[in-house]
Structure 1
Amino acid sequence: MLLKTFGWSFAVTVAGLAAAGVFWGWQGLAIVGILSILEISVSFDNAVINAGILRKMNAFWQKIFLTVGILIAVFGMRLVFPVVIVAITAKLGPIEAVKLAINDKAHYQELVTSAHPAIAAFGGIFLLMIFLDFLFEERDHKWLAWIEKPMAKMGKLDMLSVIVALVVLLVTAMTVATNVAHGGGDKTATVLLAGVAGLITYLVVGGISGYFEDKLEEDEDGDGEEGEGGDEGTAGEKAAVPAANGTGAALGLAGKAAFFLFLYLEVIDASFSFDGVIGAFAITNDIFMMALGLGIGAMYIRSLTVFLVRKGTLDDYVYLEHGAHYAIGALAVILLATIKYEISEVVTGLVGVVLIGLSFASSVIRNRREGKPGDPTGAKAEVTSGV
């Protein structure tokens, strides 16, 4: 099971480290290894969040996440994204930006770093919205009840998370953005625009995926009411069992919901990768070395996501998602703070690991108290079929 899930990650690690040793020697090998560990430690909470969404998808879209998704994560966010940022910031063509990244690494790093306020504002507000929507939602299990109970009551107020996010953005723009560490000068307008863009992106992608999720549930409920004697057109839209009915409507409906969930996953991954990409410049300014190291780390995050889904870990340890969302909230605050202040990626990684570790320990204690120890080694066949 372990080899099946992490096999590709192990293979990519061996190939990547071997390539680093061949092209850059022992120094390159060490840098790529460090970057891989950095990416895994910073993005561990990302895997838990991804697993909570991925388990809603069918086997086909889980495979898409592992194949197309990893290509977007490695080449898109870890290699292409910094080049695009430089092209936009310096008003260069894509070819000129690539030449700059290869031939003038110091200037390239300076341009990427100067774009950090906009990147941090976009990613920070997007991640903050994920945390707030989780915090303000009523749920069966509560980890920190003294916080989550009153927050759930407050969450009955429509658009509260949007209001809070806008207030946080305004405070950020009027304080830390007035004299930033990256690029210097007043970045108030930049932070405001980027933050609003992050909020809009969350509302659009999350709203569309949520709409199709709700539509799937309505169709499934309708099918249950109709029963076997119901209308054939309605039964044909039952996305939960597309293989049984084989209708195009079922596949199309399920495909739309899964497609927008996939987009949502990729945007989340992009938001998590912002701090890793920027932080990697403290280790190297070679874009290929950076993409290789962060890419290896991203592979493990993908494998860990699937591992959590296959094992049904989030069902057995009910507070893990809570810990991951609190880690997201902490990361959002850290990202916004880095607009002005230098914060080590070690701190970011440790905050996430500690919060998830505490939530896991709380889950174990709960399971023992209720006589439900959970089985971290027992696979959940209904979740994993076909992956």
Structure 2
Amino acid sequence: MILKTFGWSLAVTALGLAFAAWQWGWEAFGIVLILCVLEISLSFDNAVVNAGILKKMNAFWQRIFLTLGILVAVFGMRLVFPVVIVAISAEVGPVEAVRLALDEPGRYEDLVTDAHPAIAAFGGMFLLMIFLDFVFEDRDIKWLAWLERPLARLGKVDMLSVCVALAALLITATTFAAQAHVSTGHADRSATVLLSGIAGLITYLVVGGLSGYFEDRLEDEEEHEHAEEEKARAEGRPVSVAALAGKAAFFLFLYLEVLDASFSFDGVIGAFAITNHIFWMALGLGIGAMYVRSLTVYLVRQGTLDDYVYLEHGAHYAIGALAGILLVTVQHQIDEIVTGLIGVVLIAASFLSSVRRNRALAAADPEGPQGAGDDPRDTASDSKAEVTSGA
């Protein structure tokens, strides 16, 4: 199972590192390897969240996610995106931007630094909305119940997540953006941050709304299909909703791509702290992206999210932390190691809590399935399990 899922990632790693060493030497080999590890550490929470969405798709769309999706992720975000932001900010053509990256790496890095406030605002708002919509939703299973229960009650207020996100954007624009970090020192980027943040919010609402709409339509149609199949067996006529299912999966796929792009912002920007070479950057981050995609599929096929029910919670808290970090980096530089460690710690904590929960369930019902059923913290008879699993 592991070799089948991660086989392409391992092959690409071997070829990529060998090519880097052959084409540019051992320095490039080391930098590409570091960038690969950086991308995996920063995007592990991305894999967990993606798995929660991907498990709703069939095997065909999972393959599309690993093939066409990886082309978008690697070439779109890891190679084309840095060139595009430089081209826009410097008001030059893409070819000239590539020339700057190859011949004037210092100037290229300055241009990317100048574009960072806009990138951070867009990505930060998109990720913040994902986090807020998660914590404001009332869920049967709660990880940090002392926090999630009151937030779920607040979530009954219409459009609360949008209001909170806009308030965060306003604070960022009037504080951090007023002294945004650029290559020449500090400058007022309030208008840029406001516009980019609103664009990120609109992108989330449009893409997430469309995917949610078609997902709901698909669920309704599946219920209708189940009833029709019972009737069709007697009449001998087939029932198919393939067109609707394809449309729903397509918009979920788009949502996954935008989500992956938003997670890529910190990795791409953080990579400039290691190298200005766009081909080294694309190679290292691209290899890391392959592992993130493979890990997403592995989590889905192994049913890991069903067994370790708090992983999704930990991933969304990591998203919230990353969103806050992106907004703070409009003015202040934060080491990418800190960013990666926050996500790793939250994911690890949620995993350990899931393990303790499964042990508590097994102790309460030795013959019952582990990792399934109701959360022990939600039953009065399992108060001890609540303390154990909610740490």
TM-score, normalised to structure 2, is 0.90
Aligned to 1:306: 297
CA distance in 1, matches of 2:351, 2:282: 31
Q: Counterpart amino acid of 2:120?
A: A
Residue 268 of structure 1: CA displacement? 0.8
Aligned to 2:167: 167
* Distance 1:133-1:15 versus aligned 2 partners, 3 A rule: same
2:73·2:261 contact (CA, 8 Å) conserved in 1? yes
Q: Counterpart amino acid of 1:30?
A: G
CA distance in 2, matches of 1:59, 1:93: 40
Aligned to 1:279: 270
Aligned to 1:229: 231
Residue 222 of structure 1: CA displacement? 2.1
- Find the partner of 2:195 among 179, 193, 196: 193
CA distance in 1, matches of 2:352, 2:286: 30
CA distance in 2, matches of 1:136, 1:221: 27
Matching of residues 15-94 of structure 1 within 5 Å: 15-94=15-94
Residue 224 of structure 1: CA displacement? 3.3
Identity of aligned residues (%): 70
1:177·1:339 contact (CA, 8 Å) conserved in 2? yes
- Find the partner of 1:358 among 336, 349, 368: 349
User: Unaligned regions of 5+ residues in structure 1, if any?
Assistant: 237-244, 376-387
Q: Counterpart amino acid of 1:3?
A: L
User: Unaligned regions of 5+ residues in structure 2, if any?
Assistant: 363-368, 373-391
2:180·2:189 contact (CA, 8 Å) conserved in 1? yes
CA distance in 2, matches of 1:226, 1:8: 41
1:117·1:191 contact (CA, 8 Å) conserved in 2? yes
CA distance in 2, matches of 1:218, 1:19: 50
- Find the partner of 1:266 among 213, 235, 257: 257
Aligned to 1:113: 113
Question: What CA deviation, in whole Å up to 9, does each residue of 1:285-305 have, x standing for no partner?
Answer: 000000000001101101111
- Is 1:96 the equivalent of 2:96? yes
- Is 1:213 the equivalent of 2:221? no
Aligned to 1:379: none
Question: What CA deviation, in whole Å up to 9, does each residue of 1:97-149 have, x standing for no partner?
Answer: 22222221111111111100000000000000000000011111000001111
Aligned to 2:389: none
2:309·2:371 contact (CA, 8 Å) conserved in 1? no
CA distance in 2, matches of 1:295, 1:326: 25
Of 176-185 and 204-213, the range deviating more from structure 2: 176-185
Aligned to 1:6: 6
* Distance 1:100-1:154 versus aligned 2 partners, 3 A rule: same
Question: What CA deviation, in whole Å up to 9, does each residue of 1:132-183 have, x standing for no partner?
Answer: 0000111110000011111111111111100100000000101111001234
Aligned to 1:385: none
Matching of residues 135-174 of structure 1 within 5 Å: 135-174=135-174
* Distance 1:21-1:227 versus aligned 2 partners, 3 A rule: closer
Aligned to 1:241: none
Residue 374 of structure 1: CA displacement? 4.6
CA distance in 2, matches of 1:328, 1:37: 19
- Find the partner of 2:333 among 326, 342, 347: 342
- Find the partner of 1:288 among 240, 254, 279: 279
2:207·2:251 contact (CA, 8 Å) conserved in 1? yes
State the SS of the aligned residue for 2:150: helix
Question: What CA deviation, in whole Å up to 9, does each residue of 1:208-257 have, x standing for no partner?
Answer: 0000000011112223344532699xx96xxxxxxxx5x4xx22211111
TM-score, normalised to structure 1, is 0.91
Residue 23 of structure 1: CA displacement? 1.3
State the aligned residue count.
362
Residue 342 of structure 1: CA displacement? 0.9
CA distance in 2, matches of 1:231, 1:310: 31
CA distance in 1, matches of 2:159, 2:249: 25
- Is 1:180 the equivalent of 2:171? no
State the SS of the aligned residue for 1:181: strand
CA distance in 2, matches of 1:262, 1:374: 28
Of 88-97 and 320-329, the range deviating more from structure 2: 88-97
CA distance in 2, matches of 1:2, 1:128: 33
Aligned to 2:312: 321
